[in-house]
Amino acid sequence: MRIVEVVGRVTLSRVHPSLSGARFPIVLPMPLAALRDGAPDRGEELVAYDKLGVGRGDLVGLSEGGEAANPFGKTPTPVDAYCACLIDAISF
List the chain residues with pLDDT less than 50: none
**Within a domain: residue 56?**
yes
Q: How far is the first Cα of the chain from the last one, in angstroms, to the nearest whole number?
A: 18
Model confidence over 26-35: pLDDT tens digits?
Answer: 999 998 888 8
The number of domains in the chain is 1
CA distance 89 to 45: 22
Instruction: Write out the residue range of the structural domain in which residue 35 sits.
Output: 2-87
In a domain, 44, yes or no: yes
Q: What is the pTM of this model?
A: 0.84
For residue 54, give the CATH number of its domain. 2.40.50.220
How do residues 11-27 score in pLDDT, each as one tens digit?
988 888 878 888 999 99
Question: Which ranges of 3-64 does DSSP label H, i.e. alpha helix?
Answer: 32-37
Residue 92 within a domain: no
Contact of 26 with 4, CB cutoff 8 Å:
no
Q: Is residue 15 part of a domain?
A: yes
